[in-house]
Amino acid sequence: MPRYALRIEYDGTPFRGWQRQVALPSVQGAIEDALHRLDPNTPSIAAAGRTDTGVHATAQVAHCDLTRPWDPFRLRAALNAHLRPHPVAVLKAAQVADDFHARFSAIERAYAFRILNRRAPPALDAQRVWHVPHPLDAAAMQAGAAHLVGHHDFTTFRASQCQALSPVKTLDEITVTAHPTPGGQEIRITLRARSFLHNQVRSIVGTLERAGAGAWSPGQVRDALKARDRAACGPVAPPYGLCLIGVRYPEDPFA
């Protein structure tokens, strides 16, 4: 069976996350239903990351096995036709080696989190940003984030139901930037790592928000990390500000 990699963009708002669930809408379910319209014998697909309810993606990667060869251009077009009206789009399709795996072949994942920091609520991006009306200091958030970069035990920032075998991860980058907007600012937090724990990004963002608000000092972010205790974490940020923006492989499957 020829294997294909798909680069996928989606609005996570109407879905209960990536993973297929019985009687609940999922991104995986929408894509697999579209694939079955083309090839009823298509097995289940795999993705680089299982995003949670309400989380978006501009560069998710999945792979699928089909019973016959497809021209990638035609495969992309056919899938997008069958995905309507779901807010899911296949941006690219490419035939890949049989040993390519969207999840296990990935060497880096990147997420971005958007915070709209102003008094007025969002009118256009209500499901794309976390609206925080009180002032935030992006420099204080970056100072707190600096304590989290590197190889650490991230038990504090790990969901209680996380199924990862170890809480030890290497966080390669956290960058906090502020961008002026009418009436306030947008704060963007970018994170890169080979892999993440369940709710790790949202737990980190919620904790950094406390530092930005002045409720925590940047040093308290370090103390929370060292505590290795979920109770030491700040509040978990909501899902709708989060977006999977990149997945990197030893060789770009879409090159």
The set of catalytic residues is 52
For residues 129 and 122, is the Cβ–Cβ distance under 8 A?
A: yes
Rounded to 5°, the CA angle 31-45-13 comes to 40
Q: Residue 115 forms beta bridges with which residues?
A: 130, 187
